[in-house]
């Protein structure tokens, strides 16, 4: 057996260094090749983790071995058949769920970003050495514990192969841990860094969400023997990354529920529950059921798929849907969250220029590398993909079927055995399930062509009404508001600073674009008044809608004057309302009682 042992020491929280030692006996006389991934599965961007490796050394019992670095992420070590030891340091100070972070409060370890792959190795062991300065620290990970390693302890863990190792992040610190069982599978809820979290409530509510997601697919994956919610709370942060039997989540310190306010449901906590729901759904949908292109992926370069609308978009549909179906949020709150998605997708002109399939394929260089022109160029495959799921659910429910039924058909056809999906697979399953070839064609168009989705039609199926109102600005995405003076269109994304209005992006075909305003401009005066939030509001409300507004701005330190010709704001903000006469339709969709 080509066995490799990793030893990872939490060396120095002040300098943020891990020390990694890799030991193995060579299984061939050829030079040993080692490499580190350029990206981590689930996050489709080249990150070049090897840039944080330092002080590489190779030796055996006779002394130093010769080696060379082949490129930014590969090393080659010459050997004499004796047991080999590789040593290096890893700089761990990336405040994200994708790499490594180590300070006096927490150690986050992503093996993809610190454990070099020894090419040809099979059985892997990871020994995690406890930091002497923090005797109270514990360890949470989905890696398989050695028989001699106690639950949540430093010590020895096992992985079957390298892909397994890098799919198991480790979270260390003063951990709060609560556990529950679902279908005889233990689920561990771990939190570090939060201030006085109500762990019992968090765990109970996650249990309801997990049960709802299990019901979408009809069963837990057969190889799931435990699941870990690894929650890392910081001052400011947000993110989640899915793994086969765990998820690493980043949230804010006070997002978790307050034990003194058991009935309080903050928006931040709802967002966190939605994130947990999303990542848990991925346990089936992208970790097991996944695109054919991601069955065997290369880790040294991009892996392209045009199906992220399906795996991220449909997951986004089912994340908040689970919250309302379990009663964790009200119908009103759910409709508000859904209407925000409607507004965002409708407002971005990108859907008239890029298809969902193209957005997925270009995720590496477009969605993950958004610049000031993204609203005009890049379709959000999470948001628009979730609305494709909504439209498909509506079409299926009109036939007495449901999207959940389709998900179960997919799970049975290619998910549970991990056979991979492509368009032909999906089309065949949808045709067999719905017996509706027009629907298959319609789905193809929603995904592969540009344009708007039939949202009004979908919403009627669920007993809802959709209306639109003018938006006050680009940040205004939900809620009923009445205006004394109808809002004016401006068409720029901006933020007020002490010295004026900083423009971060400009929508195409907008008054801002017509006036010649560009991203990066600092607008310092509006109609002869200093540009402040109040002056901007008053000018817009007091001036006749067809009267021009003079703006003074700095662009790259040059003072310029432009003329803005306002227009009535278009109705791009969605409002979803329940229709009492259609309550049965809503109840059927959301699976809730009257
Ligand atoms: Zn996701």
How high is the pLDDT of residue 473? 84
Q: Which of 524, 520, 506 lies closest to 562, judged by CA? A: 524
**C-alpha span between 1 and 123 (Å, rounded):** 7
Instruction: Output the DSSP codes for 61-128.
Output: TTEE--EEEEETTEEEE---SS-EEEEEEEE-B--SSSS-EESSSEEEE-GGGTS-EETT--SEEEEE
pTM: 0.96
CA 315 – ligand 1 centroid, Å? 6
Q: Which residues pair with 182 in a beta bridge?
A: 185
How high is the pLDDT of residue 593? 61
pLDDT tens for 548-584 read 999 999 999 999 999 999 889 999 999 999 999 999 9
**C-alpha span between 449 and 357 (Å, rounded):** 8
CA 350 – ligand 1 centroid, Å? 21
CA 246 – ligand 1 centroid, Å? 13
CA 275 – ligand 1 centroid, Å? 9
Beta strand pairing call for 124-129 and 4-12: parallel
CA 362 – ligand 1 centroid, Å? 16
Q: Which of 48, 69, 55 lies closest to 21, judged by CA? A: 55
Distance separating the N- and C-terminal Cα atoms of the chain: 61
Spatial contact of 230 and 247, defined as CB atoms under 8 Å apart = yes
How high is the pLDDT of residue 546? 86
Strand, helix or coil for residue 264: coil
CA 48 – ligand 1 centroid, Å? 21
CA 72 – ligand 1 centroid, Å? 28
Per-residue pLDDT in tens (0 to 9) along the chain, 594 residues: 789 999 999 999 999 999 999 999 999 999 999 999 999 999 999 999 999 999 999 999 999 999 999 999 999 999 999 999 999 999 999 999 999 999 999 999 999 999 999 999 989 999 999 999 999 999 999 999 999 999 999 999 999 999 999 999 999 999 999 999 999 999 999 999 999 999 999 999 999 999 999 999 999 999 999 999 999 999 999 999 999 999 999 999 999 999 999 999 999 999 999 999 999 999 999 999 999 999 998 999 999 999 999 999 999 999 999 999 999 999 999 999 999 999 999 988 999 999 999 999 999 999 999 999 999 999 999 999 999 999 999 999 999 999 999 999 999 999 999 999 999 999 999 999 999 999 999 999 999 999 999 999 999 999 999 999 999 888 888 888 888 888 999 999 999 999 999 999 999 999 999 999 999 999 999 999 999 999 999 999 999 988 999 999 999 999 999 999 988 999 999 999 999 999 999 999 998 764
CA 60 – ligand 1 centroid, Å? 43
CA 553 – ligand 1 centroid, Å? 40
CA 248 – ligand 1 centroid, Å? 12
How high is the pLDDT of residue 502? 98
Cα 55 to its chain centre, rounded Å, is 33
**C-alpha span between 473 and 480 (Å, rounded):** 14
Q: What angle do the packed helices 403-410 and 199-217 form, to 10 degrees?
A: 80
Residue 441: its H or E element: helix 437-448
Radius of gyration (C-alpha) of the chain in whole angstroms: 27
The DSSP output letter for 413 is I
CA 396 – ligand 1 centroid, Å? 24
CA 285 – ligand 1 centroid, Å? 9
How high is the pLDDT of residue 594? 46
Q: Which of 290, 301, 448, 479 lies closest to 381, judged by CA? A: 448
CA 291 – ligand 1 centroid, Å? 14
CA 145 – ligand 1 centroid, Å? 27
Q: Which of 301, 237, 238 lies closest to 44, judged by CA? A: 301
The DSSP output letter for 487 is P
Token reading at 448: 């592969």
Residue 463, by phi and psi: left (phi above 0), alpha (psi -120 to 50) or beta? left
How high is the pLDDT of residue 365? 95
Q: Which of 298, 316, 384, 397 lies closest to 347, judged by CA? A: 384
Q: Which of 159, 521, 124 lies closest to 512, judged by CA? A: 521
CA 79 – ligand 1 centroid, Å? 43
Strand, helix or coil for residue 385: helix
Beta strands in 531-570 (DSSP E): 549-555, 558-564, 567-568
CA angle (539, 541, 544) in 5-degree steps: 85
**C-alpha span between 376 and 534 (Å, rounded):** 29
How high is the pLDDT of residue 484? 86
CA 281 – ligand 1 centroid, Å? 9
Long-range CB contacts (within 8 A, 24+) of 272-276: 273/205, 273/206, 273/209, 273/323, 273/328, 274/319, 274/320, 274/323, 274/337, 275/238, 275/240, 275/249, 275/251, 275/319, 276/206, 276/209, 276/229, 276/240, 276/247, 276/249
Q: Which of 21, 28, 18 lies closest to 4, judged by CA? A: 21
**C-alpha span between 300 and 48 (Å, rounded):** 9
CA 378 – ligand 1 centroid, Å? 18
CA 316 – ligand 1 centroid, Å? 7
CA 220 – ligand 1 centroid, Å? 18
**C-alpha span between 232 and 478 (Å, rounded):** 30
Q: Which of 401, 379, 383 lies closest to 392, judged by CA? A: 401
316: exposed, middle or buried (C-beta count within 10 Å: 0-12, 13-18, 19+)? buried
Residue 170: its H or E element: strand 170-173
CA 325 – ligand 1 centroid, Å? 20
CA 461 – ligand 1 centroid, Å? 27
CA 283 – ligand 1 centroid, Å? 10
CA 42 – ligand 1 centroid, Å? 7
Residue partners of 178: CB distance under 8 A and separation at least 6:
188, 189, 199, 200, 202, 203
CA 445 – ligand 1 centroid, Å? 23
CA 49 – ligand 1 centroid, Å? 21
The structural domains of the chain, ordered by start, are: 1-173 (2.60.40.3650), 175-266 (1.10.390.10), 292-459 (1.10.390.10), 492-568 (2.30.42.10)
CA 279 – ligand 1 centroid, Å? 6
Residue with tokens 């929280």: 13
CA 272 – ligand 1 centroid, Å? 13
486: exposed, middle or buried (C-beta count within 10 Å: 0-12, 13-18, 19+)? exposed
CA 239 – ligand 1 centroid, Å? 10
**C-alpha span between 512 and 490 (Å, rounded):** 5
CA 460 – ligand 1 centroid, Å? 28
CA 130 – ligand 1 centroid, Å? 32
Cα 313 to its chain centre, rounded Å, is 11
């Amino acid at each position: 057996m080509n066995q490799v042992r990793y030893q990872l020491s939490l060396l120095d929280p002040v300098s943020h260094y891990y020390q990694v030692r890799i030991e193995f006996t060579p299984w061939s006389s050829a030079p040993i090749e080692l490499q580190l991934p350029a990206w981590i599965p689930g996050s489709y961007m080249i990150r070049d983790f090897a840039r944080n490796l330092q002080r590489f050394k190779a030796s055996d019992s006779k002394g130093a071995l010769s080696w060379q670095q082949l490129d930014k992420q590969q090393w080659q070590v010459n050997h004499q058949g004796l047991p080999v030891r590789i040593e290096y340091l890893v700089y761990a100070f990336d405040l994200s769920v994708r790499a490594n972070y180590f300070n006096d409060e927490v150690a986050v370890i992503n093996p993809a970003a610190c454990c070099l792959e020894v090419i040809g190795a099979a059985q892997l062991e990871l020994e995690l050495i406890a930091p002497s300065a923090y005797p109270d620290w514990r360890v949470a990970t989905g890696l398989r514990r050695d028989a001699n390693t106690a639950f949540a302890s430093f010590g020895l863990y096992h992985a079957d192969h390298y892909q397994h190792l890098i799919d198991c992040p480790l979270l260390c610190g003063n951990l709060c841990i609560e556990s529950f069982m679902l279908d005889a599978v233990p689920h561990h809820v771990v939190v570090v860094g939060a201030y006085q979290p109500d762990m019992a409530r968090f765990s109970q509510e996650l249990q309801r969400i997990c049960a709802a997601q299990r019901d979408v697919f009809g069963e837990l994956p057969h190889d799931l023997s435990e699941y870990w919610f690894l929650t890392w709370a910081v001052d400011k942060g947000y993110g989640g990354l899915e793994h086969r039997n765990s998820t690493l989540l980043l949230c804010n310190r006070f997002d978790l529920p307050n034990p003194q306010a058991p009935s309080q449901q903050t928006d931040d906590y709802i967002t966190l529950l939605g994130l947990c729901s999303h990542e848990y759904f991925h346990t089936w949908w992208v970790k097991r059921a996944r695109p054919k292109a991601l069955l065997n992926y290369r880790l040294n370069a991009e892996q392209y798929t045009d199906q992220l609308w399906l795996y991220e978009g449909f997951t986004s549909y089912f994340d908040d849907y689970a919250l309302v179906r379990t009663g964790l949020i009200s119908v009103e709150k759910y409709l508000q969250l859904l209407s925000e998605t409607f507004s965002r997708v409708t407002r971005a002109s990108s859907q008239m220029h890029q298809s969902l399939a193209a957005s997925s394929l270009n995720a590496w260089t477009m969605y993950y590398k958004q610049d000031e022109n993204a609203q005009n160029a890049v379709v959000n495959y999470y948001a628009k993909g979730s609305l494709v799921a909504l439209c498909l659910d509506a079409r299926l429910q009109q036939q007495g079927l449901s999207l959940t039924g389709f998900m179960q058909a997919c799970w049975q056809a290619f998910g549970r055995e991990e056979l991979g999906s492509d368009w032909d697979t999906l089309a065949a399953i949808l045709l067999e399930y719905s017996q509706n070839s027009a629907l298959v064609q319609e789905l193809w168009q929603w995904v592969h062509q540009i344009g708007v989705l039939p949202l009004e039609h979908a919403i009627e199926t669920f007993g809802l009404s959709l209306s639109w109102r003018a938006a006050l600005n680009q940040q205004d995405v939900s809620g009923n508001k009445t205006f004394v003076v109808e809002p004016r269109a401006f068409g720029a994304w901006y933020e007020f600073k002490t010295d004026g209005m900083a423009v971060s992006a400009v929508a195409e075909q907008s008054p801002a674009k017509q006036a010649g305003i560009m991203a990066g401009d600092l607008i310092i005066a509006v109609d002869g008044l200093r540009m402040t939030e109040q002056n901007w509001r008053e000018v817009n409300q007091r001036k006749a809608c067809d009267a021009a507004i003079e703006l003074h701005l700095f662009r790259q330190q040059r003072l310029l004057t432009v003329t803005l010709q306002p227009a009535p704001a278009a109705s791009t903000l969605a409002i979803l309302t329940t229709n009492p006469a259609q309550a049965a339709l809503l109840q059927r969709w959301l699976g809730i009682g009257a």
